Structure 1
Amino acid sequence: MVKTSFVALAVFVACAVHVHGASDDVEVAWENFQAHHPINTKSQTETTKRKENFVKTHNMIVRHKKNKMATFEMEHNVFSVMDEEEKKLYTGAIAPASRDFTHYITDETMRQLPTSLDYRTNKCLSAVKNQGSCGSCWAFTAIAPLEFAQCKKTGVAVVLSEQQLVDCDTSNGGCGGGWYTSAWNYMKNGSAKQSLYTYTATARTCKFTSSMISSKVATYGYVASKSPSAMQSALQKYGPLAVAITVVKSIYSYKSGVYTDVACDNLGVNHGVVVVGWGTLSGLDYWIVRNSWGSGWGSLGYILIQRGVNKCSIETYPATVTSVV
């Protein structure tokens, strides 16, 4: 768990003000960063460590900016001063040893696919949330499709509780990580309204009661693996898809554009996110991906990840809620 002195730093993820157009000069960039992201260190040793982390990130960003073939931009944000172990606390997907094929979407009848689809402004998609330094991405990945499915059925937007999953879902590991389909199985018994079970980014004693229920999962399933067209069809039919990706250093500093870094390919997944659409930019096909690091990260909390090549393993574990009670 992140030390107490770093907690204030973590909460800035949700409302970070990015340093746009920062100078390539590291000292100037460091001064600009501190003006926008006060780190409140308690000792010179800690300040020195934070600056060393910043310099490493800065050099990576500068090298990337000089790459004329780059398809995405990078920038400084609160992750710039974190150690690698601290950054890992913002992930948390643990893939199962094998998939449960009893929960598989078999209705893959292909339909006419539009050139783009974007649920970001759909009333059934709640605002981007922030998991903080708790490895609960799996819970956020599970909740967004359920919120959408519930709203799609009733016509009324709903915001559900990730904290209930962190505290009560014993099939997963709270802030220690988990998996979205296991969470859906748990939520067949009910998902609490967020206002009745608020998020704390720490594991606590379960306080869930049936009076808090605002939705229940009826059915869910995996979409065909490594089949972009099947994912598109499922997105059209059901709504947002839960997926797992491999987060590497460059993703923490993502700003905009289509993410194409080969560094994340052919590695084990470590983070759960939600695909909410697709499109094409400058000839590059992409997925629109909702993260759980707050709206201050990336493009208002979203990242565009290259589509059709299983970038960062995004097309390996797609799944979604197919019906609600």
Structure 2
Amino acid sequence: MAKMGYVALALVAIFCIVHVQGLSDDVEAAWEQFQAHHPSSTKSHTDAAKRKGNFVKTHEMIQQHNKNKNAAYQLEHNDFSVMDDEEKKRYTGAKAPSGSRFLIADNLDASMRQLPTSLDYRTNACLAPVKNQGSCGSCWAFTAIAPLEFAQCNKTKTSVVLSEQQLVDCDPNDGGCNGGWYTNAWSYLMGGSAKQSAYSYTAVKGTCKFSTSTIGSTVATYGSVASKSPSSMQAALVRYGPLSVAITVINSFYSYKSGVYTDVACDNLGVNHGVVVVGYGNLSGIDYWIVRNSWGAGWGSSGYILIQRGVNKCSIESYPAAIASVV
């Protein structure tokens, strides 16, 4: 009996060694592949061991999640896979202000009675291509500019691309790469928003170079949409176009690939990132918002993510706001 026990223990030990070796081989293969496809994220850094360690943690998270057949969304490796938490934070930057907010309420009730079952502005000629904020906490600026570009184009029927860098350099209400808020930015942009061609993005705060001769649009009126009211957000999307919102970004969000994002870990936490809602729909029975991010077209689904709608997922329905009119 003792011999049988030893044999059983030996077999278990061998199985564990083989299993661990298999996992190790899988990680090594994934790491080699990642380095080949993301050379700027790996080879140019002296802290290679640390970055590989970050990759291994991310890889384990992705593998564990994607094995779940009931998962509504899938994860993948991207440039964030080798970053630590402090590096990732530089790609967010929403800082919610305290105090009351002006509420847009005109005619939204009427719009609610005739809401389309789905809406998607991603292919609308007035929505500029997805941009990339880089490692500057300026998401708030990108969240402010996209709806303004849309509103201006919608009024004049001519597309326009505006400057986030002007906000980073010049807006006294916000903190440049240290964070800010989209309605604060709109308050400043009542003095005019420069065209991007005249004021290009650098991802660092510099000296303000704004000139009124470069204005491409000017905010006239803006306000908040009712908080935690998905139908009000839908009505505002129909009436005004893309909405600025704030969300809570956690680790799984950085690795999003496809599907409807439903991670419960982001709920009931403070918001830290500004994004833009550009539509809504339903996938496999799950209602979603179509959300435009500012991490480039290589992230997520061509720069977009679908986030569960109607449950205030990641606080997305807490701080919606819209530009009502432009000059």
TM-score greater than 0.5 by the shorter chain: yes
Q: SS of the counterpart of 1:225?
A: coil
Partner of 1:104: 103
Match for 1:306: what amino acid? Q
CA contact (8 A) 1:90 1:134 kept: yes
Structure 1: runs of 5+ lacking an equivalent: 1-22
Aligned-pair CA distance for 1:114: 1.1
Could you tell me whether the CA contact under 8 Å between 2:35 and 2:43 is conserved in 1?
A: no
Letter of the 1:176 partner, please give it: N
- 1:85 is paired with a residue whose SS is helix
Structure 1 position 284, deviation (Å): 0.3
Alignment partner, residue 199 of structure 1: 201
- After superposition, the C-alpha distances for 1:133-181 in whole angstroms (9 at most, x for unaligned) are 0000000000000000000000000000000000000100000000000
Matched, 1:40 2:29: no
Q: In 2, Cα distance between the equivalents of 1:323 and 1:246? A: 28
Pair 1:188–1:24, CA change in 2 (3 A) = farther
1:214 aligns with 2:220: no
The secondary structure found in structure 2 opposite 1:194 is coil
Query: 1:79 and 1:136 mapped to 2: Cα distance?
Result: 17
SS of residue matched to 1:195: coil
Relative to structure 1, the CA distance from residue 156 to residue 64 in structure 2 (aligned partners, 3 Å threshold; closer, same or farther) is same
Paired letter, 1:240? P
| Residues 308 and 196 of structure 1: CA distance in aligned 2, closer, same or farther (over 3 Å) | same
Q: CA deviation at 1:24?
A: 8.4
Q: Deviations 1:88-119 (Å, cap 9, x if unpaired)?
A: 0000000012232xx21022222311110000
2:135: which partner in 1? 133
Q: How many residues align?
A: 299
Kept after mapping to 2: 8 A contact 1:290/1:302? yes
Return the letter of the residue paired with 2:290.
Answer: I
For the pair shown, which has the larger CA radius of gyration, 1 or 2? Answer: 2
1:306 aligns with 2:319: no
The structural deviation recorded for 1:68 is 1.9
- On the 8 A contact 2:169/2:206 being kept in 1, the answer is yes
Residues 282, 288 of structure 2: 8 Å contact kept: yes
**Partner SS state of residue 259, structure 2:** strand
Q: Distance in 2 between matches of 1:238 and 1:128?
A: 19
Aligned amino acid, residue 105 of structure 1: I
Query: In structure 2, what residue type is equivalent to 1:29?
Result: A
C-alpha distance in 2 between matches for 1:127 and 1:27: 36
Q: Please say which of residues 189-198 and 58-67 is displaced more in the overlay.
A: 58-67
Name the CA distance, whole Å, in 1 between partners of 2:83 and 2:45.
15
Calculate the TM-score normalised by the size of structure 2. Answer: 0.90
Asked whether the equivalents of residues 24 and 62 of structure 1 are also in contact (C-alpha less than 8 Å), the reply is no
After TM superposition, list the pairs within 5 Å mapping 1:128-167 onto structure 2.
128-167=130-169
Partner secondary structure for residue 177 of structure 2: helix
Distance in 2, matches of 1:128 and 1:193, equals 16
Specify the SS of the correspondent of 1:289: strand
Query: CA separation in 1, counterparts of 2:29 and 2:153?
Result: 48
CA–CA distance in structure 2, aligned partners of residues 283 and 318 of structure 1: 24
- Asked if the contact 1:126/1:159 (under 8 Å) is kept, the reply is yes
Measure, in 1, the Cα distance between the counterparts of 2:297 and 2:52.
Answer: 25
Moved over 6 A (4+): none
Task: Kindly provide the amino acid, as one letter, of the partner of residue 272 in structure 2.
Answer: N
Return the offset for 1:299: 0.1
1:70 equivalenced with 2:71 (yes/no): yes
TM superposition score normalised by structure 1:
0.91
Say what the alpha-carbon RMSD is for the aligned residues: 1.1
Q: Distance in 2 between matches of 1:40 and 1:34?
A: 7
Question: Which amino acid counterpart does residue 223 of structure 1 have in structure 2?
Answer: V
Equivalent of 2:294 in 288, 292, 295: 292
- Unaligned runs of 5+ residues in structure 2 are 1-23
Structure 2 Cα separation of the partners of residues 266 and 311 of structure 1: 9
Mapping of residues 164-243 of structure 1, within 5 Å: 164-243=166-245
- SS across alignment from 1:256: strand
> Residue 56 of structure 1 corresponds to which residue in structure 2?
57
> Can you list the C-alpha shifts for 1:183-236, whole angstroms capped at 9, x where unaligned?
000000000000000000000000001101010000001000000000000000
Equivalent AA in structure 2 for residue 104 of structure 1: L
1:258 aligned partner: 260
Question: For 1:77 and 1:91, how far apart are their aligned partners in 2?
Answer: 16
